[in-house]
């Protein structure tokens, strides 16, 4: 499995973009995961609007709109200026920030470029025929027979995990354990190498745990789930087998939902792109 793709795909600290994060351009570190995603965004696509809402964050650009979960906390902010009018590629640099609100904007910027209907179809993905409030491309249901009787770890809380526990040996890794079946997330070092299936939230892109979790889960079938997930083929080279996310189909409605913490409904459409292993 090629987790360190060849070629000079990454940005450099001396490129002089509007936003740079010193110390994040070394090819021999996990930053390469983010730098490759950022590096594929053209220089001339501009951000037109953005908003950090109480539950979700959006970045709108000339190419479309992307979403990210709003994660609070982390370190000090690294950039304090306006984002509208900046190159989308520069705003995507914030995905590497240790300030979680900045990182949310950076991941939403990645999704503004990658996560759209054309990209999903080009990658052979499936789009749900129902609104995002319905079951659609819910991977916990569509992959149910694949993980039946197997060891499954879910990173983060998702609805209806009781149905997973009914047919599989389920472990839930969570940073803030609030339920009786939660396991503290440092247990990932011990558990993930032995799992058959790993479902991980797109929030792992924001908090920078994704590269390490993917390394640990390389023996498993890995599913990345949620509206923060980019529809990027590159993610398959890092060991992800299924991308299950959301594209924005009604940007104006999505903006209102972000600002008012309302349900997205048919403003989003579920997608699933699979590169499943041959013997699961």
What pLDDT, on a 0 to 100 scale, did the predictor assign at position 249? 96
Count CA atoms closer than 13 A to 271's CA, side-chain side.
26
The structural domains of the chain, ordered by start, are: 126-249+266-274 (3.40.50.11590)
Which residues, given as ranges, of the chain have pLDDT below 50? Answer: 1-8, 14, 16, 131-135, 279-280
Secondary structure (3-state) at 111: helix
DSSP symbols for 208-274: T-HHHHHHHTTTSEEEEESTT----GGGGGGT--EEEEEEES-HHHHHHHHHHT---GGGEEEEEEE
d(CA 181, CA 75) in angstroms, rounded, equals 30
Instruction: Give the distance between the most distant pair of CA atoms in the chain.
Output: 53
Q: Which three-class secondary structure string do you get for 39-83?
A: HCCCCCCEEEEEEECCCEEEEEECCEEEEEECCCCECCCCCCCCC
Structure confidence by residue, pLDDT tens digits, 252-279: 999 999 999 999 999 999 999 999 765 4
What pLDDT, on a 0 to 100 scale, did the predictor assign at position 2? 44
Structure confidence by residue, pLDDT tens digits, 92-118: 999 999 999 999 999 999 999 999 999
User: Under a CB-based contact definition with an 8 Å cutoff, are residues 105 and 94 in contact?
Assistant: yes
- Paired tokens of 55: 């539950």
pTM for this predicted structure: 0.91
What pLDDT, on a 0 to 100 scale, did the predictor assign at position 277? 64
What pLDDT, on a 0 to 100 scale, did the predictor assign at position 138? 86
């Amino acid at each position: 499995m090629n987790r360190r793709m060849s070629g000079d795909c990454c940005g450099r600290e001396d490129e002089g973009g509007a936003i740079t994060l010193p110390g994040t351009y070394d090819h021999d570190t996990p930053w390469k995961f983010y730098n490759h995603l950022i590096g594929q965004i053209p220089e001339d696509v501009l951000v037109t609007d953005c908003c950090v809402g109480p539950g979700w964050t959006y970045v709108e650009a000339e190419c479309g709109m992307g979403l990210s979960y709003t994660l609070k906390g982390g370190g000090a902010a690294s950039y304090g200026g306006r984002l509208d009018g900046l190159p989308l590629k520069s705003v995507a640099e914030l995905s590497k920030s240790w300030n979680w609100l900045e990182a949310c904007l950076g991941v939403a910027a990645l999704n503004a470029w990658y996560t759209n209907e054309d990209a999903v179809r080009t990658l052979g993905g499936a789009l749900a025929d129902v609104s995002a409030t319905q079951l659609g491309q819910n991977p916990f249901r569509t992959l149910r027979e694949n993980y039946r009787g197997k060891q499954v770890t879910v990173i983060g809380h998702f609805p209806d995990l009781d149905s997973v526990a009914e047919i599989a040996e389920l472990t839930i890794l969570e940073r803030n354990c609030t339920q009786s079946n939660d396991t503290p997330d440092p247990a990932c070092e011990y558990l993930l190498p032995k799992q058959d299936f790993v479902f991980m939230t797109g929030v792992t892109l924001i908090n920078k745990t994704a590269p390490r979790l993917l390394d640990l889960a390389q023996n498993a079938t890995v599913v990345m789930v949620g509206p923060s997930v980019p529809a990027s083929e590159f993610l398959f080279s890092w060991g992800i087998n299924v991308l299950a996310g959301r594209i924005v189909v009604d940007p104006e409605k999505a903006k209102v939902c972000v600002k008012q913490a309302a349900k997205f409904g048919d403003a989003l459409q579920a997608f699933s792109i699979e590169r499943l292993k041959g013997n699961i």
